[in-house]
Amino acid sequence: MNPASITPHIGCSPEDFAKTVLMPGDPLRAKLIAENYLTDAELVNNIRGIQGYTGYYQGKRISVMASGMGMPSIGIYSYELYNMFHVESIIRIGSAGAIHPDLQLYDIVIAQGACTDSNYFQNFKIRGSYAPIADFELLSKAVETCKSRGLRYKLGNILSSDVFYNEGGVQETLQWRKFGVLAVEMEAAALYMNAARAGKKALAICTISDLMENGAVTTAAERQNAFNAMMEVALTIAE
């Protein structure tokens, strides 16, 4: 079989991936992790510029591949990795906008659960709604790693939204604060649903890139290069 014929989106063989894949949204962040943290890293996928690498971190074989933006994109890649490439765990490492007033730029949010305004769950043909949650083992390891390193972090619920430019603006998103939601991003809920359906593991760890209430933001270069603490947590807990 031609490896590229397995799926239209990933052009390699299943054995080219490690059992754990770190998944940033940005392909350039995947490249940065491979070049700065992994040894013997090899580019295993570059279809549509979605770069995937496999190498070693402290003796552990680990892969890192971008997800692109939004639930449709991570939905495709996580589905294929879990079901066609035999990946066991995916750890999303991304950026998020702070909803909780105590969060600061560069704080880490560990997503215990992921609320969503998406209809992604309707794909599974089950009546009702579903509460997407993280794998508890990965979650526990991430919390302990943050504690041991003295990192600023919060553990709790996040919002995975389908819409970046919503008509209601910031105030609409901030309404989720009433229910203790910490931050908003665009991928975790779909990842958690795909993991649950496949019987696999998933965790989303996000770094706060902007404060929704006061408008403070990080630059694209800062998001690409300055999320080292989050990356190191994910690399440490990778199995």
Six-digit token string for 13: 């063989």
Sign of CA dihedral 163, 31, 4, 192: negative
Which amino acid is it at 165? Y
| DSSP code per residue over 64-78 | EE---SSHHHHHHHH
Rounded CA gap, 120 and 82, in Å?
Answer: 17
Active site includes 210?
A: yes
Catalytic residue among 26, 107, 135, 210: 210
Enumerate helices (H) and strands (E) in the chain, giving the number of each.
Answer: 7, 9
26 CB-near residues (< 8 Å, 6+ apart): 66, 223, 224
CA dist 216 and 231 (Å) reads 22
Q: Which sign does the torsion angle of CA 75, 199, 153, 236 carry?
A: negative
Q: How many CB atoms lie within 10 A of CB 173?
A: 21
Catalytic residues, which ones? 210
